[in-house]
A and B are shown apart, each in its own frame.
Chain A
Amino acid sequence: MQTWIQRQKNMIEFTLSSLLRRKRKNVALVTVYTLVVFLLASVIFFTYAIKREASLVLEGSPDMIVQRLIAGRQDPIPLSHLDKIKQIRGVRSAGSRLWGYYYDPVVGANYTLMVSGESPAEGSITVGQGIARTRLLDVGDEMEFKAHDGVIFNLSVQGIFSAKSELVSSDLLLISESDFRKLFGLPRSHATDLILQVGNPREQVTIAEKIAALLPDTRIILKEELLRTYDTIFDWRGGLMLVILFGALLAFIIFAWDKASGLSVEEKRETGILKAVGWETSDVILLKFWEGMVISLTSFLAGLVLAYVHIFFTSAVFFEPVLKGWSVLYPKFRLIPFINPYQIVTLFFLTVVPYTVATIIPSWRASTIDPDSVMRGS
């Protein structure tokens, strides 16, 4: 065992000397390789963490949402629909929601206005950190609103949501029911949509079908669909994630191709000399194996650590411009580092293994050639 370890150590010693002889080329190789791993790992870490957080946070959302559609667009729903829904067996509770968007021309941002059971009293509002930051608001300040009929009225900031909740509340503005109806001119007989809680989750689909039959002008969204929306967005097959993954994988294929397509004249001559001084084919392959391992492990570990720092310490600073788009209000949040060994293993098999294999095949081909002809360069 001791001999075996010593042999491997000597082989690594020789490998490192060999790599250092072509220092510039290998440093460039490690840098690009690290960047590829960094990009792939960043995408994997970010998408998994945001999906996990979204699913845990949205676990508290309503079981079912009933919207009214007119000519393909969502329209306020009559509260009379609520009475019909309450008659359906299996519906534990049903209620209505009042919410909408308000465009603030002062900063050019859209706010989400919402009435909830814990809305502030008439004349007051509670705002998210994003709104407070953009409008430089503090508790006690007043905000001006232009109602649907052109009347301007002020509402006083009663509270600001905590910074910890920014991922769900950054652009949220809680308002009283009467102020909401005054602002948008919504009649008392209507709400934005209806929400339901269902006792038995297995009955959700049956209840949804009953509602669809009873109220044909509605669209029903189940909680399961709601949660799946975020799974789909950050799925590796979706949108930008695919573009990033495709770019990184393409760069990696070019790498592997460069390696697999053959060794340089210098590397071939080195192999020839080694064979001439008595190295076995297996020794040369072992040498190349360690060469591949040194480069890929160095890049893999460095890329992985950098990606972790990027996503969980700098709040994905390189992805921010893409996610931000033209948003005026963008939540400042730090993702909770949800990682698991499965992600690391996947990344390892995606990057280290193919590269190492790609380095062994051409060296096996080179090491089986006659050393004399290799050294002569023929």
Chain B
Amino acid sequence: MRKSNLFFLYMFVNMVLLGLLFVHAFTEEKRNLPALEEKRAMVEKHRLTDICLFTEASYTRHLAVSDRHTAFQDGPFALEHFPSGSVLPPPGTKKR
């Protein structure tokens, strides 16, 4: 087989894979709708405010409602104790 044909075949396979990714994303989104609804209902039922992503410190666990009196949140240049502090930006989004 000519090299150019091989290249086209490779591109075709990759494009099909890319298409399959979209199909997979679409079907997964549909398949996960009940689970998403379950989480949304749980948030509503238990009146939750945050997702459980960083559990190492109270102010990283509940980002939206944490007080500002913590190591990193005192200022953007303050030394942070917990590693997830390096992922989180300093506050500034809360108006009140």
Listed in ascending order, the chain A residues whose CB lies under 8 Å from chain B are 9-10, 12-13, 16-17, 20, 50, 53-54, 56-62, 65, 67, 69, 72-74, 95, 97, 101, 109-110, 112, 114, 116-118, 128, 130, 161-162, 164-172, 174, 193, 195, 208, 212, 219-221, 225-226, 228-230, 232-233, 235, 237-241, 294, 297-298, 301-302, 304-305, 308, 312, 322-323, 325-331, 336-339, 341, 344
Residue of B whose beta carbon sits closest to that of A341:
B22
B93 touches A229 (CB 8 A): yes
Interface residues on B, range: 35 or more
Pick from A20, A50, A170, A337 the residue with the most CB of B within 10 Å. Answer: A337
Residues from 1 to 37 in B contacting A, C-beta threshold 8 Å: 2-5, 7-8, 10-11, 14-15, 17-18, 21-22, 24-25, 28-29, 32, 35-36
B21-58 CB mask vs A (1 if < 8 Å, else 0) is: 11011001100100110111111111111111111111
A114 touches B46 (CB 8 A): yes
| CB-CB nearest 5 A-B residue pairs | A60-B44, A325-B83, A301-B14, A337-B25, A238-B89
B18 touches A305 (CB 8 A): yes
**Known contacts A57-B39, A230-B51, A322-B87; is A72 also within 8 Å of B28 by CB?**
no
Inter-chain contacts of A62 with B (CB < 8 A)? 47, 49
For the residues of B in contact with A, the DSSP-based class is: helix
B86 touches A221 (CB 8 A): no
Inter-chain contacts of B36 with A (CB < 8 A)? 53, 56-57, 336
Residue of B whose beta carbon sits closest to that of A101:
B58
Residue of A whose beta carbon sits closest to that of B13:
A301
Query: Could you pull out 19 A-B pairs where Cβ atoms are within 8 angstroms?
Result: A13-B3, A17-B3, A73-B67, A101-B61, A116-B46, A165-B35, A167-B39, A171-B52, A174-B46, A221-B65, A230-B51, A233-B63, A240-B86, A298-B10, A304-B21, A325-B84, A326-B56, A331-B53, A339-B25
B21 touches A339 (CB 8 A): yes
**Known contacts A171-B61, A233-B63; is A328 also within 8 Å of B55 by CB?**
yes
Residue in B41, B69, B87 whose beta carbon sits within 8 Å of that of A239 in the complex: B87
In the bound complex, what is the Cα–Cα distance between A60 and B29 (angstroms)?
19
Answer whether residue B79 sits at the interface, using C-beta atoms and an 8 A cutoff.
Answer: no
Inter-chain contacts of A325 with B (CB < 8 A)? 54, 56, 60, 82-84
**Known contacts A232-B89, A298-B10; is A59 also within 8 Å of B40 by CB?**
yes
B48 touches A61 (CB 8 A): yes
CB distance from B20 to the nearest CB of A (A): 9
CB distance from A224 to the nearest CB of B (A): 10
Known: A67-B67, A305-B21, A341-B22. 9 other contacts (CB 8 A): A16-B7, A58-B48, A59-B40, A172-B48, A221-B96, A229-B63, A301-B18, A304-B21, A322-B83
A54 touches B45 (CB 8 A): no
Answer whether residue B88 sits at the interface, using C-beta atoms and an 8 A cutoff.
Answer: yes
Inter-chain contacts of B69 with A (CB < 8 A)? 72-73
A56 touches B83 (CB 8 A): no
Inter-chain contacts of B88 with A (CB < 8 A)? 233, 238-239
A336 touches B44 (CB 8 A): no
**Known contacts A56-B36, A60-B41; is A110 also within 8 Å of B51 by CB?**
no
**Known contacts A12-B7, A72-B67; is A116 also within 8 Å of B45 by CB?**
yes
B67 touches A168 (CB 8 A): no
A240 touches B3 (CB 8 A): no
Inter-chain contacts of B60 with A (CB < 8 A)? 325
B52 touches A168 (CB 8 A): yes
B61-95 CB mask vs A (1 if < 8 Å, else 0) is: 11111011100000000000011101111000111
